[in-house]
Amino acid sequence: MRAASIKDVATHAGVAVGTVSNVLNYPDRVAEKTRQRVLNSINELGFIRNDVARQLRAGHSRTIGLIVLDIGNPFFTSISRAAEDAASESGNAVVLGNSGHDANRERHYIDLFEEQRVQGVLISPVSDITERLSALTARGTKVVLVDSPSSEGDFSSVSVDDVHGGYTATKHLLDIGRRKIAFVAGPQHFHQVSDRLAGARNAVAEFPDATLEILQGNDLTVLAGREVGDTLVMRQQGELPDGLFCANDLLALGMIQSLTMLHTLRIPEDVALVGYDDIDFAASAVVPLTSISQPTAMIGRTAIELLAEQLDNPDAKPRSVVFKPELVVRASTTEAQSHQR
Amino acid sequence: MRAASIKDVATHAGVAVGTVSNVLNYPDRVAEKTRQRVLNSINELGFIRNDVARQLRAGHSRTIGLIVLDIGNPFFTSISRAAEDAASESGNAVVLGNSGHDANRERHYIDLFEEQRVQGVLISPVSDITERLSALTARGTKVVLVDSPSSEGDFSSVSVDDVHGGYTATKHLLDIGRRKIAFVAGPQHFHQVSDRLAGARNAVAEFPDATLEILQGNDLTVLAGREVGDTLVMRQQGELPDGLFCANDLLALGMIQSLTMLHTLRIPEDVALVGYDDIDFAASAVVPLTSISQPTAMIGRTAIELLAEQLDNPDAKPRSVVFKPELVVRASTTEAQSHQR
DNA sequence: TCTAATTCTTGAAACGATTCATTAGTACGA
DNA sequence: TCGTACTAATGAATCGTTTCAAGAATTAGA
């Protein structure tokens, strides 16, 4: 009941193991007649090549590890889907690990991937693990940072200019006349949060009569957004911001939920709202959400390409690609509520 | 620059390779002094165990393959997260493959996983691939069907009683007095769709004055839901259904989007709405969605357990677990719009 | 001090593929 | 018929572990 090996096939076909291997890898080195005989044996025995043995001999696998911060966030789902597609074009598979913003799980996955001798690791880091990643690189496993700029240029990286995105989002609110801006934050040690806030600050600084308030959420989830929103709706009318910029779309969806609950506040008339990431659910929210679109498909694909670069030319300098995010205007910031899509 | 092997460690520590292996796998077979010496060498050389070689020797990997229908659907994300957690408790890793309802990609992943000699495959099948899966089993790779009942009892399976779920959803609409029911379908060759419809039929049959209409969507996505919704809002007032049951939440969210767009229809007063899956975004929709909750975490975890069962006892009969889904009532079907959560 | 029992350590074999230097076989021209 | 040139096929070595029978070293008991 043991799975058939190349040796079994060789015996069955009456040839040497090397010949079977050639049939699989260099078919035209083998005479037509022999090849047919071997192929028949392969079918008859139900032989499936053992990739583990192949990898051992080759010294590396056909696998790429991807470690994301939150698989429940459509932003990362979308990236991983793109990475998977791009990788499979070159015959590689992507193994997905979900750190869930937990440094221990992150470490666990790095260890696992290194033991599995993956070709490379794409990672959206939770914590500062430059050291661990350098060790990885030193031993030959390539690393590409995803959605995180390379601090010292040690690694290749794909990222999106979050400061610029934060600026764009906030500038848009200011441009439509809002002056009492609030930033709905997530935990500020997430660089995504602090960078977007920095951008918001830059934009507000350009308008002397504008103010920026920070509403602290304790996570980047819908629930956290609702919690922040609930505190907001309790305020006096005059103390409300008229422009809200949320650190991501999940927060923004939670905000919408809270703000529309009592039907006392109108979006965007009373409060205009901008999210970040432009996830699919943002476009299909009941008040379609203006958001900052990140090219997730490009991010995933580029990560794979940067990795391929490193693999093809081991001495290549790491390269960083930074995308510019784009504003997508929808009903949550447009007074004339057009219903077009 | 080649990664250090166990042999390098042995040389460096002045012991035999077998001893290094023992330090890693059976530490108490090795004298304290020797063990320390070996551990030092391991650290100094930055040795990382090569899991590929280990697997080759062991004959199997520590990896489990999971093939889902749509990684963009939070239903599957949630299952895979649970499976991953459960697997990691026993030191196994889950490799995720996304078939995207495409039979070719499905086949591709099965091949890949078999070549990688994964311990087992958890799969939510697109097409009827019983034959291919039987071949897998015959060669020693265990199979567990996920969200799909085992047709002939050939494989272990975890599923949820979709007929019952469809019944429950529809019965709820009938119980709150709705009689003109419509089922918003996805492609009917998805068994999830046809089963839920069957349940809906059963419920409607219990009420002589009730009717059931089928609105055909061409996918199980938010966009498809909007398309169906758009055709619906064009209808005359009298021809509208007063109770809608959507084949899944994504469709339902699209429906809400369309129905509320023109502010001519009220949910639930004019049309009550029930979805299916109870994804996170259902609870946080602006009209919180009544839905049929599936125990996704349990599904993922149980799939891993069923697999473990097969692995521990290769002769164990396949076992099928069927969960009952549960109705979760929210504002989309409750006239007295309570704002509690 | 000697023997027996116990604990440590050794190193070759095995896992299943690929590689590559050799050998075997074939075809052709002289 | 022989030699040359080429194509096919062979099978041992290799990748980095784990396993395990056997040998070496240590300890305990008398």
* Domain positions in chain A: 6-49, 59-160+296-323, 162-294+327-338
Q: Average pLDDT, whole number, for chain A?
A: 92
Lowest mean pLDDT among A192-206, B196-210, B224-238: B224-238
Contacts of B50 in chain A (CB under 8 A): 56, 115, 117
Lowest mean pLDDT among A11-20, A120-129, A258-267: A258-267
Q: Is the CB of B56 under 7 A from strand D?
A: yes
User: What is the interface size between A and B, counted as CB pairs within 8 Å?
Assistant: 122
**pLDDT of A195:** 97
Of A93, A96, A257, the CB nearest to B284: A257
**pLDDT of A338:** 41
Q: Does the pLDDT value for residue A337 go beyond 70?
A: no
Q: Average pLDDT, whole number, for chain B?
A: 93
Q: Spell B4-28 as b/e; 16+ CB within 10 A means b.
A: bbbebbbebbebeeebbbbbbeeee
The residues in B 212-241 lying below 8 A from A, measured between CB atoms, are: 222-223, 226
Of B46, B56, B93, the CB nearest to A139: B46
Distance from CA of B208 to the nearest CA of A (A): 36
> Which tokens in the block code for residue A276?
């970040």
Q: Is A265 on the interface with B (CB under 8 A)?
A: no
Mean pLDDT of B115-121: 94
Of A190, A179, A175, the C-alpha closest to A212 is A179
Q: How confident is the model at residue A339 (pLDDT cuts 50, 70, 90)?
A: very low
Q: Do domains B59-160+296-323 and B162-294+327-338 have the same CATH topology?
A: yes
Tell me if B155 sits within 8 A of B143, measured CB to CB. Answer: yes
Of B131, B134, B151, B106, the C-alpha closest to B143 is B134
**pLDDT of B339:** 39
CATH code, residues A6-49: 1.10.260
Contacts of B115 in chain A (CB under 8 A): 48-51
CA–CA separation, A266 and B85 (whole Å):
42
Q: What are phi and psi of A150, to 5 degrees?
A: -75, 120
Q: Does the pLDDT value for residue B335 go beyond 80?
A: no
Cis peptide, bond prior to residue A268, ω within 30 of zero: yes
> Which tokens in the block code for residue B130?
């019983």
Q: Is B137 on the interface with A (CB under 8 A)?
A: no
Q: Is the CB of A2 under 7 A from strand C?
A: yes
**pLDDT of B337:** 42
- Inter-chain contact A256–B286, Cβ cutoff 8 Å? yes
- Inter-chain contact A88–B80, Cβ cutoff 8 Å? no
Of A174, A171, A200, A173, the C-alpha closest to A185 is A200
Burial of residue B38, with CB atoms counted within 10 A of its CB: 0-12 exposed, 13-18 middle, 19 or more buried: buried
Of A274, A324, A327, the C-alpha closest to A298 is A324
**pLDDT of B336:** 54
Backbone φ/ψ region at A172: left (φ over 0), alpha (ψ -120 to 50), beta: alpha
**pLDDT of A323:** 97
Tell me if A257 sits within 8 A of A227, measured CB to CB. Answer: no
What is the helix (H) or strand (E) element at residue A310, kind and residue range?
A: helix A296-312
**Cα atoms in the Cβ-side hemisphere of radius 13 Å centred on A132:** 18
- Which of the listed CATH numbers 3.90.79.10, 3.40.50.300, 3.40.50.2300, 3.40.50.12160 matches domain A162-294+327-338? 3.40.50.2300
CATH code, residues A59-160+296-323: 3.40.50.2300
Dihedral in degrees, nearest 10, Cα atoms B85, B91, B92, B94: 30
**pLDDT of A336:** 54
